[in-house]
Structure 1
Amino acid sequence: MRLNKELKELKELESLQVVKPEGILTMYLNTDPSDPEQSGGEWKIQLKNSMNSFENYLKQSDDKEELDKFKKVRKQVENFMFENQKNLKKSVIIFASSDQSTWFAEILQLRVESMFYWQETPVLDQLKNLNQSYPKLGIVLAQQNQVKIIEAELGKIVNTELFELDLDTEDWRQFAGPRASTSGKNLQTDLFDKRFEANQKRWYKNLAPTLDKVAKNHNWKKIYLAGEKEEALDLASYMQKEVDSIFYQNILDHEESQVLEKVLA
């Protein structure tokens, strides 16, 4: 999710700093199954009623050209919801223009208030509030010879990377995406434990500049770190970037979505 770039473009539309599209739909839709008001999939009724309301208004206004433009957007939005109905979480946010110059659609694990707008400019209030409350962040999980990064934005995981220490060369190797765990727990022999204890500070000190670079390049607004107390404190102390919160728990092998929920709780 390239939120900063997309939000900048939407703000330009909001302030009419660029040529305005020919009609734009703003949709904030609550799809949270834990919400008592959504237990039966009521979002489908809300979506249909709101779309019908806009369409009926445009029919009564006798503006056939704008009505045709709205129908194009409606079809695009309804197709997206149909194709993703099994993947829905707590909300969906969509900005869609009739000339197809704007299309922003995100399924989020954050609740919104259902609101619909059809006008010349997007309505960004809820998106701005979410961006401020849930900025781009990095979670660094340390577990002996492995360090995992979970990157999230708007409460949604957007990237995962793993750094694993090559015990032969003592170099950290980087892997992108999910990877089967061969963590330090699996290497816990007396010999390994003694070697790790003797070299932990040096190994983490060597990795810290790489983590700082990732945080800078990816524009993290907040950094969270988790691991056994001594490991977490060592790694945090060697990083130049400020760590906002440290959890003294070994959770590298936990489900990534659960880790994110814990951090945001």
Structure 2
Amino acid sequence: MSLAEIIEEIQGKEDDTGVLTIYLNTDASEGNVNKSEWKIHLKNGLKELKEEAKNRDAEQEVKALKKLQDKVEKEITLHQREMRKGFILVASADGELWRARVLQVPVTTAFHWGKKAETEQIEALEQKFPETAIIAVQSHDATFIETSLGIIRDVKKYSWDVDSESWLDYEEAAQQQTRGGGKDEFQRRFEENQHRWYKSLAEDLLKEVKSRKLEGVYLVGSKETVQEIETHMDSNKLLGVVTKNLGSNSAHDIASEVFETLV
């Protein structure tokens, strides 16, 4: 489901009892006293919503919020180690809508309870962080990271196989490279043919971008590697470049570096 479709689904849901919307800033670098301060904000935010419902004598809403709080806490516990910058959760009392996402970008902590979800921040994030690809290249390896709302949706790794002269799935390529003349021979052949082979990589990656209907690409790698790949990229699709050799880093760290540097 595309980001536009997810937002449409959220906006289209109405529940007479209530729809819970949570935006949680979990980024310690944004001024939080410590890494777990967001837990206090979560507890207090949900408490305030229940107290407001009690003051309205809305017993059904209080029960629904208590039930949702249990589910929210379980969801948070499940993703606690992944918490980096932000977290969004939208859930309806009837259980028909449940969307929870860990973000690589911060949000403003806010809690909302009403017949419909509060989507203002989601819509702003859609404009700032649309569906894009981050491509990190390091010598004969490449990491393709699909992102949306600052969320990593998919990661695909490529590695060059000398024998077939093509970019393969990383695991498959690793098996292929155990054959042949060894690492020195592999590196020699790669250096001799890297212009042609990087062109092939750029073509494969652009096909991936088009098939996934992504807005564009952020390119990451050493200055030399980026320049080589950039010459073969569609300039209309290239959103920005980070000249750092991050190919061996995790997808989360690569995405964070790109968003902090370019967005």
TM-score computed with the length of structure 2 as normaliser = 0.80
Question: Whole-Å Cα distance in 2 between the matches of residues 146 and 115 of structure 1?
Answer: 41
Q: Does 1:101 align with 2:96?
A: yes
Map of 1:1-265 to 2, 5 A cutoff? 3-13=3-13, 20=15, 22-39=17-34, 41-175=36-170, 189=184, 192=186, 194-240=188-234, 242-264=237-259, 265=261
Stretch moving more, 21-30 or 196-205: 196-205
**Partners of 1:207 and 1:82 in 2: how far apart?**
39
TM-aligned CA distance change 1:69 to 1:216, over 3 Å: same
TM-score using structure 1 length: 0.79
Residue deviations 1:69-113 (CA, integer Å, cap 9, x gap): 333222222332344444432322111100011111122232222
SS at match of 2:71: helix
Unaligned stretches of 5+ residues in structure 2: none
- 1:205/1:84 CA distance change after superposition, 3 Å: closer
- Between stretches 62-71 and 22-31, larger displacement belongs to 62-71
The one-letter amino acid paired with 2:12 is E
Contact 2:162/2:186 (CA < 8 Å) preserved in 1?
A: no
Alpha-carbon distance, 1:256 to partner: 3.2
TM-superposed CA distance for 1:249, in Å, is: 4.2
The amino acid of 1:162's aligned partner reads: K
Q: CA deviation at 1:40?
A: 7.2
- Describe the shift of the 1:127–1:171 C-alpha distance in structure 2 as closer, same or farther (beyond 3 A): same
Give distance in 1, aligned partners of 2:53 and 2:201. Answer: 60
Q: How far apart, in 2, do the equivalents of 1:196 and 1:261 lie? A: 30
The alpha carbon displacement at 1:248 in A equals 4.1
For the residues of structure 1 that align with 2:125 and 2:90, how far apart are their CA atoms? 15
CA RMSD of superposed structures (Å): 3.0
Structure 1 unaligned blocks of 5 or more: 14-18
The answer on whether the counterparts of 1:95 and 1:102 sit within 8 Å (CA) in structure 2 is yes
**C-alpha contact 1:161 1:176 (8 A) present in aligned 2:** no
Is this contact kept in 2: 1:212–1:239, CA < 8 A?
yes
CA, structure 1 residues 95+196, in 2 after alignment: closer, same or farther (shift >3 Å)? Answer: same
Task: Tell me how far apart the structure 1 counterparts of residues 82 and 30 of structure 2 sit (CA, whole Å).
Answer: 17
Contact 2:90 2:117 in 1 (8 A): yes
1:88 & 1:46 partners in 2: Cα distance? 14
Q: Describe the shift of the 1:55–1:219 C-alpha distance in structure 2 as closer, same or farther (beyond 3 A).
A: same
Kindly indicate whether the alpha-carbon contact (under 8 Å) linking 2:23 and 2:110 is maintained by their aligned counterparts in 1: yes
